[in-house]
Structure 1
């Protein structure tokens, strides 16, 4: 094995990344292991790089050779698809009890582990994710019991803690998740410490759990935006339990909505649909605006599955709901982002997935016309989506121009998700690397990725 120390990336993009970081392996080390056991194969480091970065699946003999080195049984390799069988570190716990104690355990787990979890890939998928959503939908919160452990927490103290939420939301939305996640985690840690060590009434306890749930949701979203996907799952599982302990059904639905979007990004449309469906069904007290937001997340999942009829039916429901919302409604503060521009953006994205680019482009034009200039990260997202619509319309030069406009926006509000969107969109442009039309874009993109 190479003795040279492997550079530790900020983000482990694949389970194989986590294994290489833990064992100090280079890409060459990985292919050498396979070559020694399989024999008569080319030991080129590019093979391992493609497994890790391009989603290429190694053949069974290569997987078995790697499994032998990692002491993973052959039966597991043959029953779990690559890369699920790779032993890539501690699992993300999700099977906490739906009780106050269970919520406390989930919060403890997130505060202890999530901010340092650099795994940029999902750790909970398939039936486990769907089961979590179904459990949340079917369980009623128990009575919150005051626990006497320390000083008395007053309503005034809680209100002072809650006053920090708008500042954190603004920080995350304007400067990106990578810059905000540690500060949000620190605030969450403080609330968890208060919950563990203080005494409070049932009313105060409920507000503490509600505050913990919102901070956990925000920390999950910041981690998601920064590409720390396992950490995002840790935070969201904890936040879902905390929202349940606070009897905050709509807040729980908003967390499931975020988890649905993460599944959408990872091409897990069935899981995305199950999570979005539970969120929409379970938010029985939602205001019209909140219900419209949840409906559009459900529509996005239908669109990802190519279910045009179901998607357009839910879009129609969302349109009716959004038209009926009133500024005087008792909307939660976290819903402020869902304005008219975001409403049109979600519909436009549905039509993108349904391969109806003219409709998509029309909605995205409305989005960009209405979007606040302070929503820099969102503007970058909208511009990239409009570029995708132009590509579907065969307007490659216009798409290229739009992608170049997204670069300074991402530089201003860093977002790993927007970088990935931009890279994928560039790969779909019908221009070679030597084409002068994309030289400036490619130079900027290379600097941005680096």
Structure 2
């Protein structure tokens, strides 16, 4: 399989929206701040990217500062491997490079935050890209159906473990499976149907691995996995699976407070998603992003579309990535959107959704309880809010869900006004200890 040939510096620069001239100016400015001078210009940047010239140690140090990478990251790995790849462009052969970028060891200190503009551009590229039929791989060792059956079955077992068990070893096992699948894609010999299964499996593993990192607060790691999932789905020609990867990227942007990027990504995702369940989820997330920006008319339009598409999905088998979507999610997310718009009916919907949630979805229950606590605070009901927040915190600690813990901790400043309320001090003490 052909590899992506773009230099890591090119990809990192493009992810920041910089031309070669822009990067050269930034390097010169960095040197000047240190009381030094740099001769970097666009021609020198081109030599680094195209001609294989290695920048000297000073220039690499300036590059690291411009790109926001700690110096220890530069010292730990040789040029150009300390550079992040940024957003890898979609091509028929970009799956393996994107997965390998996601699997880079110890990313937390080295990974560069991907700007919202770069993610939006990637979504737009996906929305307008031609889908090339996946060709069979005719070189390498043969890949048989039994091996793919085994990998699919094991991946399914991993991703359907209950939350209490998934916390123990999900990340290394998912990564090991993903590395195996990417190696088979890159070096195996297989038929087109098996190639489609391998790419689809890779996309699902990327989605699960991304959510695991996201729940641990490693948001840029999650972005890298979800981006790799988009590449895998695109290569497989699965538009719904690609739209799901964009939906996850949008969710991550919204969580970071970048609702403009989230709404833009979801707009592109909706242009090609086909299955009603997939469209319902995307409409629901776009409603949340628009409500956070105060866009009432568009929010209501997307909430109505989500409900209509959710109803239409009842007669069709759902894709695996959205089998979990239920009436409970529709109610709670609609309530959250209406709450952002100041609608008094929001609290009722959130409470109804909480009651409808299946007991098996413990992590989601913790998140919904945190939402319920926030809704009670909006209604100046601190005692009820404390009960819901305490339950969310206890559940999140039991199943290993740091994202839910963070949701409760983010609420604690709002509780300080009600310190004398029943259960409030106990909650604040638990939150500080979490």
Per the normalisation by structure 2, the TM-score is 0.78
Q: 1:57 — aligned with what?
A: none
Q: Which moved more, 1:376-385 or 1:161-170?
A: 161-170
CA distance, structure 2, for counterparts of residue 422 and residue 321 of structure 1? 32
Task: Report the secondary structure of 1:100's partner residue.
Answer: coil
Q: 2:395 — aligned with what?
A: 409
Task: Report the secondary structure of 1:386's partner residue.
Answer: helix
Provide Cα deviations, 1:351-392, integer angstroms capped at 9, x if missing partner: 222232x32211111111111111111111111101111111
Q: Given the alignment, which residue of 314, 335, 357 partners 2:302? A: 314
Whether 2:326 is the aligned partner of 1:332: answer no
Provide Cα deviations, 1:416-438, integer angstroms capped at 9, x if missing partner: 22122111111112437787742
Deviation at 1:70, TM superposition (A): 11
Provide Cα deviations, 1:318-354, integer angstroms capped at 9, x if missing partner: 111112222x513112212111111212111112222
Deviation at 1:167, TM superposition (A): 1.8
Whether 2:334 is the aligned partner of 1:347: answer yes
Q: In structure 2, do the counterparts of structure 1 residues 385 and 70 end up closer, same or farther at CA, with 3 Å as the change threshold?
A: farther
- Contact kept, 8 Å, 2:288 with 2:336, in 1: the verdict is yes
Q: Which moved more, 1:309-318 or 1:403-412?
A: 403-412
Q: In structure 2, do the counterparts of structure 1 residues 132 and 165 end up closer, same or farther at CA, with 3 Å as the change threshold?
A: same
- Contact kept, 8 Å, 1:355 with 1:392, in 2: the verdict is no
Q: 1:379 — aligned with what?
A: 365
Q: 1:87 — aligned with what?
A: 69
- Contact kept, 8 Å, 2:250 with 2:261, in 1: the verdict is yes
Task: Report the secondary structure of 2:318's partner residue.
Answer: coil
CA distance, structure 1, for counterparts of residue 403 and residue 292 of structure 2? 18
Q: 1:302 — aligned with what?
A: 290
Deviation at 1:123, TM superposition (A): 0.6
Q: Which moved more, 1:256-265 or 1:171-180?
A: 171-180
Give me the CA root mean square deviation: 2.8
Q: 1:106 — aligned with what?
A: 98
Q: In structure 2, do the counterparts of structure 1 residues 205 and 147 end up closer, same or farther at CA, with 3 Å as the change threshold?
A: same
Whether 2:194 is the aligned partner of 1:194: answer no
Task: Report the secondary structure of 2:417's partner residue.
Answer: coil
Task: Report the secondary structure of 2:323's partner residue.
Answer: helix
Q: 1:225 — aligned with what?
A: 215
Matches within 5 A, 1:408-427: 408-427=394-413
- Contact kept, 8 Å, 1:178 with 1:415, in 2: the verdict is no
Matches within 5 A, 1:34-183: 68=33, 86-88=68-70, 92-113=84-105, 116-118=106-108, 123-171=113-161, 173-175=163-165, 179-183=169-173
Task: Report the secondary structure of 1:99's partner residue.
Answer: coil
Task: Report the secondary structure of 1:101's partner residue.
Answer: coil
Task: Report the secondary structure of 1:338's partner residue.
Answer: coil
Whether 2:201 is the aligned partner of 1:207: answer no
- Contact kept, 8 Å, 1:243 with 1:251, in 2: the verdict is yes
CA distance, structure 2, for counterparts of residue 71 and residue 270 of structure 1? 39
Q: 1:22 — aligned with what?
A: none
* Number of equivalent positions: 370
Q: Given the alignment, which residue of 361, 386, 397 partners 2:347? A: 361
Deviation at 1:217, TM superposition (A): 1.3
Q: Which runs of 5+ in 1 are unaligned?
A: 1-63, 74-82
- Contact kept, 8 Å, 1:152 with 1:199, in 2: the verdict is yes
Matches within 5 A, 1:4-23: none
Q: 1:289 — aligned with what?
A: 277
Task: Report the secondary structure of 2:257's partner residue.
Answer: coil
CA distance, structure 1, for counterparts of residue 37 and residue 192 of structure 2? 48
Q: In structure 2, do the counterparts of structure 1 residues 407 and 434 end up closer, same or farther at CA, with 3 Å as the change threshold?
A: same
Deviation at 1:162, TM superposition (A): 1.2
Q: Which moved more, 1:162-171 or 1:123-132?
A: 162-171
Whether 2:426 is the aligned partner of 1:440: answer yes
Deviation at 1:404, TM superposition (A): 1.2
Task: Report the secondary structure of 2:160's partner residue.
Answer: helix
CA distance, structure 1, for counterparts of residue 170 and residue 366 of structure 2? 18
Deviation at 1:85, TM superposition (A): 6.4
CA distance, structure 1, for counterparts of residue 234 and residue 281 of structure 2? 20
Q: In structure 2, do the counterparts of structure 1 residues 423 and 271 end up closer, same or farther at CA, with 3 Å as the change threshold?
A: same
- Contact kept, 8 Å, 1:259 with 1:272, in 2: the verdict is yes
Per the normalisation by structure 1, the TM-score is 0.76
Q: 2:46 — aligned with what?
A: none
CA distance, structure 2, for counterparts of residue 173 and residue 141 of structure 1? 36
Deviation at 1:266, TM superposition (A): 0.8
